[in-house]
Amino acid sequence: MGIMNWFKAAPGHGGPAAAAAVVTAAAPAAPLPGEERGVEVGGLNFKSAVDAHMKWKMRLLSYINGTSTEDLKADVVCRDDQCPLGKWIYSRGGGEFGYSETFFDMKAHHANFHRCAGEVLTAAQAGEKEKALNLLHHGDYVRASERVKKLLAKLFVLVSDGKTAIDAHAKWKERLQDYITGRSEEDVTMESAMRDDLCALGVWLGGEGKQHYGHTPGFDALRQAHTRFHRCAGEVLAMAANGHPDEALAMLEEGDYADASDDVTAALVDLFAARRN
């Protein structure tokens, strides 16, 4: 199972049998051309990191229900530098990947997640069980947890095989925003945006990508997601061309375009991880 599928399969109520995040000092060996590195990249085992992150919900639920043997402290849980992932963020992770906007976003959302977890624990320790359960199952805690999981998946792509592909794909949103708002001199036409063979990722899919991965189910999934994404990009430009720039900009944030963009990222992760598992 590809790592993104594994990420998706980790449910919010605890995920698979969770293990502590594995953080090592040894860097992974440089891959040979056409090979991929393991799921441990830059000193972090991404699967174990997500396992440990998703385990928080069960740990907090057990505490709320009085079945936990842990002595959890709100002033520790609310800190983002005490868990294995947090320690990696503030050490090797920050040193190697702090330049990345995705790393910066993941760091911020991870901090927010721990603030939310601290609020859950504070409510539980104050004897407000129903409030604690509501905070745990709804709202900010759930959103923060899912965001951390998604950003870990994206970061995995960025720091391993798919950096060039994901970078090129991620720039589409900025390109479209700049074009719609008049900040760009680039002539982005609806016809060119809808074509899936002109961008950097499309060229790769038709060349090296097809050569190395064309025989895999993941390649077809990525190609279909990429085609759908460009169709959605064309729809965004069509909305702008029809005199509705605000609606077009909103389409970039949520709805079909945003979903298609996330699907491309997910398919890229699956593709690059498939031969590791």
Fold agreement between 10-159 and 163-276: yes
Q: What is the residue-averaged pLDDT of the chain?
A: 80
The total of other beta-carbon atoms located within 10 Å of residue 126's CB is: 11
What's the CATH number for 10-159? 1.20.120.30
User: pTM for this structure?
Assistant: 0.52
Higher pLDDT, 55 or 272: 55
Q: Which residues, 6 or more positions from 105, have their beta carbon under 8 angstroms from its beta carbon?
A: 151
Q: Are 271 and 218 in contact (CB under 8 A)?
A: yes
Spatial separation of the C-alpha atoms in residues 141 and 124, rounded to whole Å: 14
pLDDT digits (tens, 9 = 90+) for 119-138: 999 999 999 999 999 999 98
**Amino acid of residue 188:** V
Q: How confident is the model at residue 159 (pLDDT cuts 50, 70, 90)?
A: low
The total of other beta-carbon atoms located within 10 Å of residue 136's CB is: 26
Tokens linked to 21:
């995040």
pLDDT digits (tens, 9 = 90+) for 69-91: 999 999 999 999 999 899 999 99
Q: Are 128 and 135 in contact (CB under 8 A)?
A: no
DSSP class of residue 92 equals I
Q: Domain locations in the chain?
A: 10-159, 163-276
pLDDT digits (tens, 9 = 90+) for 160-217: 655 566 667 778 888 999 999 989 888 888 888 999 988 878 888 888 778 778 888 8
In this prediction, residues 44-54 reach a mean pLDDT of: 85
pLDDT of 42 higher than 80: no
CATH 1.20.120.30 fits domain 163-276: yes
Tokens linked to 147:
């965001």
